[in-house]
Amino acid sequence: MNTPADPTSYIRATLDHFEPFSSAEAPTLEILCQGARLRGVVAGELFVNRGDQVRGLYLVARGEVKLFLGSSSGSERILRLASIGDTFCEESVFSDAAQTLSAQAVRDTTLIHLP
């Protein structure tokens, strides 16, 4: 996957396009950008498992993510497809609770993780 030459500028520019980040004042946006990290995941990659401690939310900058419940028999129930501009794992910002869903990239995806 291609990594932007300047990840901080990429993160800032991406956040500036999506609510609620785009309405944040410049100092607040700067603080968010300082802690944010880019994460590239390839199609099919399972990157959040039910029960994980994510410690922050994800914003889809590019690609698509399947959020689902899996069973021990291997079946899955898709609850949502997150696409560009969508966030997920928001509950981990407010709580130390484990994730209730799993997340898997549907296609090559770039995420911004905001702790």
Q: What is the pLDDT of residues 71-89, one digit of tens each?
A: 888 889 999 999 999 999 9
Express each pLDDT in 20-73 by its tens digit. 999 999 999 888 889 899 999 999 999 999 999 999 999 999 999 999 998 888
pLDDT in tens, 85-112: 999 999 888 888 889 999 999 999 999 9
Nearest to 43 by CA among 109, 110, 112: 109
User: Can you give the pLDDT at residue 88?
Assistant: 96
Phi then psi dihedrals of residue 45, to 5 deg: -75, 125
Residue 5 pLDDT greater than 90, yes or no:
no
If one counts every other C-beta atom within 10 angstroms of the C-beta of residue 29, the result is 17
Domains of the chain from N-terminus onward: 36-114 (2.60.120.10)
Q: What is the pTM of this model?
A: 0.89
